[in-house]
Amino acid sequence: MNTYTIYTDGACTNNGKPNARAGWGAVLTNPQGDTLELAGPVPEAQEQTNSRAELMVLVEALERCTQPVPITLHTDSGYIANACNGHLEAWKAKGWKKADKKPPKHLDLWQRLAQLLLEKDVTVCWVRGHNGMQGNERADVLARLGATGRTYKKRVRRVAEEVA
């Protein structure tokens, strides 16, 4: 394996309501085959929305990819996948304005994500959520954990294959 593979998800209980709590989760597999699972809450001082959590997890995951190899990132957010695969560059070219002449919500995260996409060789793929894909399902579980306010970090080393 000579790439990173990442699955991400965001979650928000009571999305759009005053008592909302958002969290994010990611499953990263490095080029050596080791896996890192991460979860965390969106900080309380920030807007508690699913879309902020979905963006935050991309930044959190990409910042942990330190080896200079390609990255395949899977998200079940069509909006984020489409933005990363085209709209983002158009927004930047227009001074961070969308077609409606307004900046995208969570501009701070979009700008950080745009910088990471410039620095790294990232392919962003959309996957259907809740469709049985193991990495996506695990990221969903982790995101829901993050939405409870908990953080989680677990590294699993790949077991060396025995030579027969």
Closest to 73 (Cα-Cα) out of 88, 58, 83: 58
- Residue of 9, 37, 60, 146 marked catalytic: 9
Reported as a single tens digit per residue, the pLDDT across 142-160 is 999 999 999 999 998 987 6
Q: Domain count of the chain?
A: 1
For residue 120, is it within any domain? Answer: yes
- Decide if 108 is catalytic: no
For residue 52, is it within any domain? Answer: yes
**Mean pLDDT across the chain:** 93
Q: Where in the sequence is the domain holding 84, given as residue range(s)?
A: 4-156
Is residue 11 classed as helix, strand or coil in its secondary structure?
strand
- Decide if 161 is catalytic: no
pLDDT given for residue 61 in this prediction: 98
- Residue of 60, 76, 106, 135 marked catalytic: 76
Structure confidence at residue 116 as a pLDDT band (50, 70, 90): very high
For residue 46, is it within any domain? Answer: yes
Query: What is the pTM (predicted TM-score) of this model?
Result: 0.93
For residue 37, is it within any domain? Answer: yes
For residue 121, is it within any domain? Answer: yes
SS (H, E, C) 30-68: CCCCCEEEEEEECCCCCCCCHHHHHHHHHHHHHHCCCCC
Residue 161 pLDDT > 60, yes or no? no
- The distance from CA 49 to its chain's CA centroid, rounded to whole angstroms, is 14
Going by DSSP bridges, is the β-strand pair 152-156/122-126 parallel, antiparallel, or unpaired? unpaired
For residue 109, is it within any domain? Answer: yes
- Residue of 23, 25, 37, 54 marked catalytic: 54
CA within 13 Å, CB half, 160: 3
Reported as a single tens digit per residue, the pLDDT across 6-41 is 999 999 999 989 899 999 999 999 999 999 999 999
- Decide if 74 is catalytic: no
- Decide if 121 is catalytic: no
CATH number, position 94 = 3.30.420.10
For residue 50, is it within any domain? Answer: yes
- Decide if 40 is catalytic: no
- Decide if 54 is catalytic: yes
8 A C-beta contact, residue 111 and residue 96: yes
pLDDT given for residue 162 in this prediction: 47
For residue 162, is it within any domain? Answer: no
pLDDT given for residue 16 in this prediction: 86
